[in-house]
Amino acid sequence: MKIKPILAVAALTFGLGACSLEETPPSSLAPVNFYTNANDATAAVNAVYDIANQVGDQSRNFIIMGDLPSDDMDPLLNNADRVQLWSFQTIPTNSVVTQSWQVIYQGVNRANTAIDRIPGISMDETLKKRLIGEAKFLRAFYYFYLVRWYGGVPLMLTETQSLSAGKDVARASADEVYTQIIKDLTEAETSLPDKFTGADLGRVTAGAAKSMLARVYLNKKDFANARAKSKEVIDNAAKYGYGLFDRYIDVFAISNKNGKESVFEIQFVGGGSGQGSGMVTYFAPENSPITGRGFGSFIPTMDLYNSFKTGDKRRELFLNSYVNGAGQTVNTFQHFNKYVDPSARAFGDANNNFPIIRYADVLLMFAEAENEISGPTAAALDAINPIRRRAYGFPLTGASTADFTAALTKEAFRQAIWDERRWEFNAEGHRWFDLVRTGRLVPLLKAKGKTSITETHTLYPIPQRERDLNPNLTQNPGY
């Protein structure tokens, strides 16, 4: 959700971000003056959403840290920090690792501010409960990235009110962080509505909280709770407005933003608003005229491109040529082409949202958890097969030659689900997380020639800058 910078300042309380104060006396933005009515409460929560757009500017660090250190993506070799991550030679001063920590903790602090201050505002109690639920969801969302990237981290649960606050807080254990994430999401799911409409589309819902809980439980290998939460979403899909689009390409159409397959996505507004996405430019071929000039920053590996089976239409969302300024067709290596906005004319002007959870993910999480508990049951097959049918151009309902069957062993079905996740969610920031949580990161990538990788790389280093500021921050093993 996008807000005016002046409101973001108030939500930060002590200016933990860069904003302009022109024409507004600082005293008028003090917390005691700001948190007085429902509009202030809404603005404070909007500021919490806004951080998700800023993770690496245009949310690109979700891609850089989620897909680049894997077998799915190669970087343009002109950025040393990205090459470090890709080659598993990351050091604690890496700017991507440092920036992600800093920005996400800004999100945590904004959430803490909203959670602490909104209860004291005289306003509609239903709206108050909803806004606090949104802030708790977002705090859990930010901590979920922190704990998976860095392991145990300082667990800050109240607003930072001075520049020195928090500089001596030691790392909580990963289990303690997960306990807080689950607590926040559990409280959020009972506070949030089933859906939003109009200008509120894109705000988090009860279905988003349940889906995020399913992802958290799956990451912890708590398959019973992962199955239960994802099943709650599937059983109530009609109430939440969830479903699959008939064609894979339709999932990413701008006209379907916040559509039925969207559970939670980071919002962008193109068309010259100054609040658009840069994903199109990052993925476009280098120096191509797409959105002014493509950067070519993130390129699919041949391993990923060649892994798609014959007839899989998901492979069609790759670009291998473009038309230059002279009207000539230029053939190029394959590029990701999920994020397309023909109307965008410059970097940061695209109207594409960035998906965090899609309904297809809920279905695949259920299938995986169900299989781990009971094998390839009819329920697990019913969850995954519509995704398979869509991938091969069949109707979502009715048997097809793309369907998996109960003839698969538990082990074979597990691998089939993992493969589907790779194909379904390519370039959506999932691959590194999936490889880490399933214990495959090191053996799989080592077998594919990533000889520098070790168990160290199942976490990122604690940024050196943070350790310099906080002597109680220990470093992750191997760094």
**pTM for this model (two decimals):** 0.93
Q: Which two tokens stand for residue 201?
A: 């589309």
Q: Of the candidates 308, 277, 281, which has an alpha carbon nearest to the alpha carbon of residue 292?
A: 281
Q: Which two tokens stand for residue 207?
A: 């279905």
- pLDDT tens-digit profile of 152-176? 999 999 998 776 777 899 999 999 9
Report, as an integer, the average pLDDT of 66-77: 96
**Per-residue DSSP letters for 372-418?**
HHHSS-HHHHHHHHHHHHHHTT--SSS--TT---TTS-HHHHHHHHH
Q: Which two tokens stand for residue 270?
A: 């193109």
Percent of the chain clearing pLDDT 90 (strictly above): 84
The per-residue pLDDT for 31 is 59
- pLDDT tens-digit profile of 190-210? 999 999 999 999 999 999 999
- Quick check: helix, strand or coil at residue 75? strand
Strands 298-300 and 318-323: unpaired
445-to-411, 449, 453 alpha-carbon distances in Å: 20, 6, 7
Report, as an integer, the average pLDDT of 430-451: 97
CB 47, CB 134: distance < 8 Å: no
Mind listing the domains of the chain with CATH numbers?
38-241+373-469 (1.25.40.390), 278-352 (no CATH)
Q: Name beta bridge partners: 322.
A: 330
At 231, is the pLDDT very low, low, confident or very high (cuts 50, 70, 90)? very high
**Per-residue DSSP letters for 422-468?**
HHHTTTTT-HHHHHHHTT-HHHHHHHTT-TT--GGGGSPPPPHHHHH
- pLDDT tens-digit profile of 341-352? 989 989 999 999
- Separation of alpha carbons 102 and 107, rounded Å: 9
Torsion angles phi and psi, residue 387, rounded to 5: -65, -40
Report, as an integer, the average pLDDT of 445-467: 97
- pLDDT tens-digit profile of 339-386? 999 899 899 999 999 999 999 999 999 999 999 999 999 999 999 999
The per-residue pLDDT for 160 is 87
Does residue 305 register a pLDDT over 70? yes
- Specify the DSSP class assigned to residue 275: B
The per-residue pLDDT for 450 is 95
- Separation of alpha carbons 109 and 44, rounded Å: 11
Report, as an integer, the average pLDDT of 435-451: 97
Q: Of the candidates 264, 277, 426, which has an alpha carbon nearest to the alpha carbon of residue 337?
A: 426
